[in-house]
């Protein structure tokens, strides 16, 4: 990322950039910064393509066209899927790119074996934006608070991050709600966070599984009914419960092999501090119990799809069984 920041500050650009990874907020931020730095407000020489039905031939034709009364022509391709399939022709073309044409690719996932990725890697600037670690997110939040002349205690900062999750776009959105709510206050408190911040459904599912593990059946069911009242579809809730049991099973197995929380997080795709919470939750289940719960979650989904069970009832019965 340092190279990308340096290019933007210096105004000296590579002709090819690939911004990819799970963190959508950072991808969008640096996409927009590159656009502003490379071409500014020049819409005559700017082309934006999105989605998997992009015509590679049209893109190449545009790149071959000399810019109109300007030094550069910029093409941004977002969520194209070309780094997984269909990007071979574009990969070959980019090896001999006209000096006036600049490309920015923005993708969530890429196949590093693809011809297009290898071209970008050898001739361009490739930046991966993964989920940020706890300390980075806290520094970012504190920076936003400082701009608003607000303060927060360390424990309340932890609470806020636990409630919002690690998605930076969600954190920014919830922080803005807090700033508006605390307009005349110097410090943001836990009470303020509870008053205006929305709990992510993933965190809600995590707490529901904790209630199941603690055999707090009434609490687990109350949380399920709360999700239903928020118009969450039962099948989505069931999918997230199954996903949670699957993650816990993986964490449990890695714990048994002696992996640290950081190592577990890297292997299952969770930030280190989140992996620690999953490790603590997994310790409250036996491996066989997690495997059975996962299998029964899949079976419940099948029962709903085949019409043998009502979707609301299928989730309720699963919760009752494992919280009894």
- The band of 222, judged by pLDDT with boundaries at 50, 70 and 90, is very high
Phi, psi of 114 (to 5 degrees): -70, 155
If asked whether residues 236 and 296 sit together in one domain, one would say yes
> What average pLDDT score do residues 81-96 get?
93
- The band of 77, judged by pLDDT with boundaries at 50, 70 and 90, is very high
**Rounded distance between C-alpha atoms, residue 274 and residue 301, angstroms:** 27
Query: Can you name the residues that pair with 279 across neighbouring β-strands?
Result: none
| Distance between start and end Cα atoms, the chain | 50
If asked whether residues 36 and 117 sit together in one domain, one would say yes
**Rounded distance between C-alpha atoms, residue 212 and residue 126, angstroms:** 44
If asked whether residues 7 and 36 sit together in one domain, one would say yes
If asked whether residues 23 and 65 sit together in one domain, one would say yes
Is the pLDDT confidence value at 80 over 80?
A: yes
Query: Residue 13: its pLDDT value, please?
Result: 94
CATH number of residue 143's parent domain: 1.10.8.60
Token representation of residue 298: 């899949």
Q: Which of 196, 217, 247 is the last residue of a domain?
A: 196
If asked whether residues 159 and 228 sit together in one domain, one would say no
If asked whether residues 184 and 66 sit together in one domain, one would say no
If asked whether residues 24 and 99 sit together in one domain, one would say yes
> What average pLDDT score do residues 220-232 get?
88
If asked whether residues 173 and 234 sit together in one domain, one would say no
If asked whether residues 96 and 30 sit together in one domain, one would say yes
CATH number of residue 20's parent domain: 3.40.50.300
Q: Which of 128, 157, 172 is the last residue of a domain?
A: 128
CATH number of residue 264's parent domain: 1.20.272.10
Is the pLDDT confidence value at 321 over 80?
A: yes
Token representation of residue 193: 């966070």
Give how far Cα 142 sits from Cα of 74, 149, 182, 183, 199, Å.
35, 10, 15, 16, 20
If asked whether residues 209 and 109 sit together in one domain, one would say no
Query: Residue 34: its pLDDT value, please?
Result: 96
pTM, two decimal places: 0.73
If asked whether residues 90 and 169 sit together in one domain, one would say no
Condensed to tens digits (0 to 9), the pLDDT of residues 175-210 reads 999 999 999 899 999 999 999 988 777 788 888 888
Query: Residue 164: its pLDDT value, please?
Result: 87
Count how many domains the chain has: 3
Domain enclosing residue 44, as ranges = 2-128
């Amino acid at each position: 990322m340092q190279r990308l920041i340096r290019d933007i500050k210096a105004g000296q650009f590579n002709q090819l950039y690939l911004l990819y990874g799970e963190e959508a907020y950072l991808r969008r931020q640096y996409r927009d910064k590159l656009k502003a730095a490379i071409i500014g407000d020049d819409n005559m020489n700017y082309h934006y393509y999105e989605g998997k039905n992009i015509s590679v031939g049209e893109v190449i034709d545009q790149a071959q066209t000399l810019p109109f009364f300007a030094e550069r022509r910029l093409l941004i391709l977002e969520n194209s899927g070309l780094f997984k399939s269909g990007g071979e022709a574009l990969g070959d073309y980019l090896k001999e790119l006209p000096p006036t044409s600049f490309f920015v690719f923005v993708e969530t996932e890429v196949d590093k074996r693809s011809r297009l990725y290898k071209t970008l890697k050898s001739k361009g600037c490739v930046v991966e934006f993964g989920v940020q670690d706890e300390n980075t997110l806290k520094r970012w939040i504190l920076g936003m608070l400082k701009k608003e002349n607000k303060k927060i205690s360390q424990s309340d900062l932890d609470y806020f991050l636990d409630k919002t999750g690690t998605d930076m776009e969600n954190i920014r959105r919830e922080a803005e709600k807090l700033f508006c709510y605390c307009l005349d206050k110097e410090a943001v408190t836990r009470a303020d966070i509870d008053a205006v911040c929305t709990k992510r459904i993933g965190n809600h599912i995590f707490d529901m599984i904790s209630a199941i593990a603690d055999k707090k059946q009434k609490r687990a069911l109350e949380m399920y009914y709360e999700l239903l009242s928020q118009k969450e579809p039962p099948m989505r809730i069931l999918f997230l419960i199954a996903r949670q049991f699957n993650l816990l099973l993986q964490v449990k197995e890695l714990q048994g092999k002696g992996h640290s929380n950081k190592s577990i997080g890297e292997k299952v795709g969770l930030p280190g501090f989140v992996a620690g919470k999953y490790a603590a939750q997994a310790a409250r289940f036996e491996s066989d119990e997690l495997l059975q719960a996962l299998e029964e979650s899949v079976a419940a989904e099948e029962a709903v799809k085949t019409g043998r069970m009502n979707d609301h009832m299928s989730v309720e019965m699963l919760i009752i069984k494992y919280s009894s």
